[in-house]
Amino acid sequence: MSKPLLVASDHAGFELKEHLKGVLEKMQVPFEDLGTHSTDSVDYPDYARLVAEAVSAGRAERGLLVCGTGQGMAMTANRFRGVRAAVPCTEETARLTRAHNDSNVLALGGRTVTPERAEAILRVWLETPHEGGRHARRVAKIDSVS
């Protein structure tokens, strides 16, 4: 990635986000934390929007979102053109969302995955390239839906 990974969470994902920031530092992946910065209650769409708008506009290549389940963040992020947010629950689904779907936003659940599983998913997601080929045609069809 030539641009920093954008990271955000709501209160339910805050602790997992903080853990994953440490993983990113160890991996030497540049990132920018867009909040939230505590466990005080906030609305997840506000933070999903910050990341999704930047990815949609090309100001960021990829993003990481964390809420209670990952689902609310993904639902919000996927409303933005060009954003392909995925909520993988295993390393294999993380690999496939990158290789086949060119997912550019990873959404994880602070209440649904352990820090160890989230770390493994993040690593695979960051390290897996998009395969292109027949998959590129399909991704273009996703992005053509308005």
Give catalytic residue positions. 67, 100
Is there a contact between 110 and 67 (Cβ–Cβ < 8 Å)? yes
Q: Please, what is the Cα angle at 96 between 90 and 98, to 5 degrees?
A: 110
Backbone angles phi, psi at 67, to 5 degrees: -135, -160
The two structure tokens encoding residue 77? 């992020």
